[in-house]
Amino acid sequence: MQRDKSVKAKEVIESLCKLLYSLGLECVPSAETFRRAKFNKGEDVVVEFWKLLHSVLLKTLLLECSCTTLSDLDSHVREALWQCGYGASWIVVTTAGLRPRSEVGSRELLVAFGWVLSSGSMLEALLRARSLELDILSLPPTISLSSPREGGSLGDVDGQGDLKEDGLLRRLQWQYGKLRFQWRRLLSIQEERARLLHQVLSSSTMPSTSTSQPSSDDHHSMCSTALKKEVERLQTLSQLLEAYLEWKRQEPLFWCWMDSVVDSQLSDLREEDTVENMSPVHQVVNRCFPYGYKDKEGLEQLDNMLLRLHTGLKDTYTRQNRKAQSVLQDAEELEEIERRVALRLHGLAESCTSTPTSGCCTYRPSLQGPQPLPNHHQPCRPGSVLPQACDGAVLPGKVSGTGTVMVQVQASSLIVKLQQREDFLLGELGQMRQAKRGQIQEKTASWLEGVGVVLIPPLPLKR
């Protein structure tokens, strides 16, 4: 019985190691090392696990600096683990002080690794990243285009400075022009890529000519190097997917084994580590901590903005309220207006969530075979590559709904959503610009009149 268990555990760990290796992680220790780590034996095991943790955390979190020596590794790993919400005693500073690296045993590292594996969907994220590299026939995400705004950095630019320096404005216009040119270019080559992608996908659905027609290998060897590379990539990807499936099959056993590790750890618990004795050292919130500052600043800025917004709204709202309420209007028009407003508000709310339906995540496109019309309303997943793969047993293709996992998306529905989003963004942009135009005109009206200059705005473009 014990033998069986240990053999099974070994298999399970091996499948995990294989998966980690195919996911591109470096420093994956062997299954034997894992087993030894459970018993807190061996210095080399400790070192290996530090390295493993480091490479895992590097991939899943954005560590903004590099470290080479083991001591750096130590602090970075601890910091990263803390950021993930891991609160074991050797990471945090307690009243007992910080545990030095030498005292951290491999078992603890193993448990930490298990934690990282179990929280969030680390493996899935890694799988996704790796499959993006390997599968060139997938639609990559377009998130990369909108970089996150740095909250504080813009505030300190002197607005007046822009106006005084002609050269700056000209440069800005020039850069804007360049940017617009880039946009147009991107749109055109994107179209080309989609066309080629469709051709490649549709040729992969051709009925295979593999009726023992061994065309010679060096027939088109120069051209087929691309194909060979693609074949290699696909093979790697298939291996990766198989390793993942294998791991998923054996996952419960792994967690049982990890449970046993935790058991053995608890049995060896030190006096200082007990739950009661661990309490934070610092009760004071305000401290000079340079990296925490970023978060703190962010929070404060958020609060300020919200306050301003709130007070502004209160003022405007009360003023407007009096005027608008007294007017009777057509019910239809009211509805229309309300619908528009609701749409706009929804669009605003959506901009902060990154749902897959908004199209900014990656997709695996698959050409659908011609479907008979009655099947239109069936939720079942149609065959993707081979027309005959359409049987109900394939997948319970769930679509949308918050909380449910998206497995399959129809292009038509995605198009509708994207169009809505596009309309919303265009609308917002138009509103903002119009407001600015009016503002500028009003503010400069008196001055221009005094100087005798008339500002003629350009005619709106017919879109």
Which residue among 348, 375, 378, 379 contacts another protein (CB under 8 A)?
348
Distances (CA, A) of 110 to 33, 43, 248, 358: 10, 14, 20, 39
Q: Which is nearer to another protein, 2 or 215 (CB)?
A: 215
Cβ-contact 253, 8 below 8 angstroms: yes
Which residue among 6, 321, 375, 378 contacts another protein (CB under 8 A)?
321
Minimal distance in Å, beta carbon 44 to another protein?
Answer: 21
Q: Rounded to an integer, what distance in angstroms lies between the CA atom of residue 383 and that of residue 170?
A: 55
Taking alpha carbons only, the member of 244, 246, 260 closest to residue 34 is: 260
Look up residue 408 and give its two tokens: 């399959």
Question: Within positions 35 to 54, which residues make up the interface with another protein, using CB under 8 A?
Answer: none
Beta bridge pairs of residue 280: 94
186 binds another protein (CB under 8 A): yes
Q: Which is nearer to another protein, 7 or 416 (CB)?
A: 416
Which residue among 331, 446, 462, 463 contacts another protein (CB under 8 A)?
446
Whose structure tokens read 């698959």? 366
Taking alpha carbons only, the member of 38, 32, 82, 74 closest to residue 54 is: 74
362 binds another protein (CB under 8 A): yes
Region of 23-31, 36-44, 45-53, 297-305 interacting with another protein (CB under 8 A): 297-305
Question: Within positions 370 to 429, which residues make up the interface with another protein, using CB under 8 A?
Answer: 370-371, 381-382, 384-386, 389, 394-396, 402-412, 414-415, 418-419, 421-422, 425-426, 428-429
Q: Rounded to an integer, what distance in angstroms lies between the CA atom of residue 300 and that of residue 163?
A: 29
| Residue 405 DSSP one-character state | P
Minimal distance in Å, beta carbon 225 to another protein?
Answer: 8
Look up residue 95 and give its two tokens: 């009243």
Helix H or strand E segment including 126? helix 122-134
Exposed, middle or buried, 53 (CB in 10 Å: 0-12/13-18/19+)?
buried
Question: Phi/psi of residue 280, each to 5°?
Answer: -70, 150
Which residue among 25, 27, 234, 380 contacts another protein (CB under 8 A)?
234
Minimal distance in Å, beta carbon 10 to another protein?
Answer: 18
354 binds another protein (CB under 8 A): yes
Which residue among 68, 102, 160, 267 contacts another protein (CB under 8 A)?
160
Size of the site for another protein (CB under 8 A): 261
Which residue among 4, 68, 275, 372 contacts another protein (CB under 8 A)?
275
Which residue among 162, 268, 272, 335 contacts another protein (CB under 8 A)?
162
190 binds another protein (CB under 8 A): yes
Half-sphere exposure of 359 (CA within 13 A, CB side): 13
93 binds another protein (CB under 8 A): yes
462 binds another protein (CB under 8 A): no
Which residue among 342, 375, 378, 379 contacts another protein (CB under 8 A)?
342
70 binds another protein (CB under 8 A): no
Q: Rounded to an integer, what distance in angstroms lies between the CA atom of residue 422 and that of residue 347?
A: 10
Minimal distance in Å, beta carbon 42 to another protein?
Answer: 23
Which residue among 30, 142, 375, 378 contacts another protein (CB under 8 A)?
142
Which residue among 295, 335, 375, 378 contacts another protein (CB under 8 A)?
295
| Contacting residues for 402 by C-beta, under 8 A, at least 6 apart | 355
Minimal distance in Å, beta carbon 273 to another protein?
Answer: 8
Which residue among 303, 375, 378, 379 contacts another protein (CB under 8 A)?
303
Q: Rounded to an integer, what distance in angstroms lies between the CA atom of residue 149 and that of residue 145?
A: 12
85 binds another protein (CB under 8 A): yes
Whose structure tokens read 């003022």? 315
Which residue among 39, 231, 272, 375 contacts another protein (CB under 8 A)?
231
Q: Rounded to an integer, what distance in angstroms lies between the CA atom of residue 105 and that of residue 90?
A: 10
Which residue among 1, 331, 349, 373 contacts another protein (CB under 8 A)?
349
Minimal distance in Å, beta carbon 93 to another protein?
Answer: 5
Coil, strand or helix at 280: strand
CA 219 to chain centroid, in Å, comes to: 43
Question: Within positions 165 to 184, which residues make up the interface with another protein, using CB under 8 A?
Answer: 166, 168-173, 175-180, 182-183
Beta bridge pairs of residue 139: 363
Which residue among 39, 220, 268, 335 contacts another protein (CB under 8 A)?
220
Q: What is the DSSP string of 34-58?
A: HHHHHTT--HHHHHHHHHHHHHHHH
